[in-house]
């Protein structure tokens, strides 16, 4: 699973947002606001990490149980899939 080409994250007015650029912008207008955890999940996908590895990194970074990090990671990935940000 990875981020589709044409979707990027930027910091705008102190907020982390995901936006579509180029051709991706033809099918998706607007932006999605991410918190720091969302940014870390996004970056993990960009780095080619598996869902499990992303969750493990979150658990370590934020000092939360791995089970909670897995749940949070899965939740955001489902939202990203529904929004059309991800590809296999």
The domain of 64 spans 2-87
CA distance 88 to 32: 21
Average pLDDT, the chain: 90
**Could you read off the pLDDT of 38-55 as tens digits, one per residue?**
999 999 999 999 999 999
Q: Strand 15-20 to strand 2-3: parallel, antiparallel, or no bridges (unpaired)?
A: unpaired
Confidence of residue 87 (pLDDT cuts 50, 70, 90): confident
pTM, two decimals, is 0.86
Predicted local distance difference test score (pLDDT) of residue 25: 67
pLDDT tier for residue 12 given thresholds of 50, 70 and 90: confident
The CATH number linked to 82 is 1.10.10
Report the domain count for the chain. 1
Q: What is the number of residues in the chain?
A: 88
């Amino acid at each position: 699973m990875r981020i589709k080409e044409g979707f990027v994250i930027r910091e705008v007015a102190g907020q982390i947002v995901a936006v579509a650029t180029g051709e991706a912008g033809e099918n998706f207008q607007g932006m999605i606001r991410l918190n720091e955890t969302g940014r870390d999940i996004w970056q993990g996908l960009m780095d080619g990490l598996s869902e499990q590895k992303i969750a493990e990194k979150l658990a370590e970074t934020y000092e939360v149980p791995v089970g909670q990090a897995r749940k949070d990671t899965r939740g955001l990935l489902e939202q990203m899939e529904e929004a059309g940000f991800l590809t296999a």
